[in-house]
Amino acid sequence: MASSSTHVFLLSLVFLMIVFQLSSHQQLCRKDEYLALMQFKDSFVIERQASACPKVDLWKSQGVDCCSWEGIWCDQNTSHVIGLDLSNSCLFGSINSSSSLFRLGHLQYFNLALNDFNFSKIPSTMGNLSRLTYLNLSGSFFFGQIPHEISKLSNLAKLDLSFHVDCSNQELLELQRSDLNSLVQNLTKLEWLDLSSVDINSPIPRALANMSSLTYLHFSQCGLFGKFPTNIFQLPKLQVLDLDNNWEISGNFPEFHSHN
């Protein structure tokens, strides 16, 4: 009897292990999000480079489960795509407000840095991705006004729109003064803000001093002018402040002392 019971127990254990393995390999990807990703891929030319392996070019060879594709991760409970890292993916082409990417409404992490979007504008529908906590569009040849809809992304902890410059180092992106004020006033959870080489051409908003979560603040080569609001130095978590190449800023910087 004991031997029979042990045999049944072992068979049950093997069965449970097989079920677990099968369930762990079930397709996680939602069909609508799979289609949205493939439509996005097909809308771009992949510029092959010897030093880079384009992520999206590998998707088809990685099976039909988009949650297992390079540069993508999904929520384990809902199977929604929540992370998309397509940085340095050799993408070339334009992106607009009708892009299928904006059907990925559960995105929390979105990185399109170091691609070539061919001087297209940052789509205003970027502001519809309300769950975003991380947005990086740096160095990707976007052009024109940064849409005010970016300031609606109130959950952002990191925003990087830096280094959109042409071959003569001229700024390609602009941010109107009113939009800079809205961005500072609405994105109160920001820990990292990088607008380097964005043509802002305005005073530094005093409301920056209210962004108590800020750790890194990069405003190099932005055309900022006027008196620098020194109360920014009272931000409790601020570690890096970059104001390089803003020649019209005035004011006195406080003394800093090293501590052991």
* C-alpha count within 13 angstroms, C-beta hemisphere, residue 161: 27
Say yes or no to pLDDT of 52 above 80: no
Q: Where are the alpha helices (DSSP H) in 129-235?
A: 177-186
138/128 Cα distance (integer angstroms): 19
For 86-98, the pLDDT digits (tens) are 999 989 999 999 9
Say yes or no to pLDDT of 260 above 50: no
For 17-36, the pLDDT digits (tens) are 544 444 444 557 899 999 99
What is the four-CA torsion angle of 7, 13, 18, 24, rounded to 10 degrees?
A: 180
pTM confidence score: 0.85
For 54-87, the pLDDT digits (tens) are 688 788 778 889 999 999 999 999 999 999 999 9
- Total length of the chain: 260
What is the four-CA torsion angle of 221, 222, 225, 231, rounded to 10 degrees?
A: -90
pLDDT > 70: percent of the chain: 85
Q: What is the predicted pLDDT for the residue at 26?
A: 55
Q: What is the predicted pLDDT for the residue at 23?
A: 45
Are 40 and 93 within 8 A, CB to CB?
Answer: no
Strand partners, 255: none
Are 194 and 161 within 8 A, CB to CB?
Answer: yes
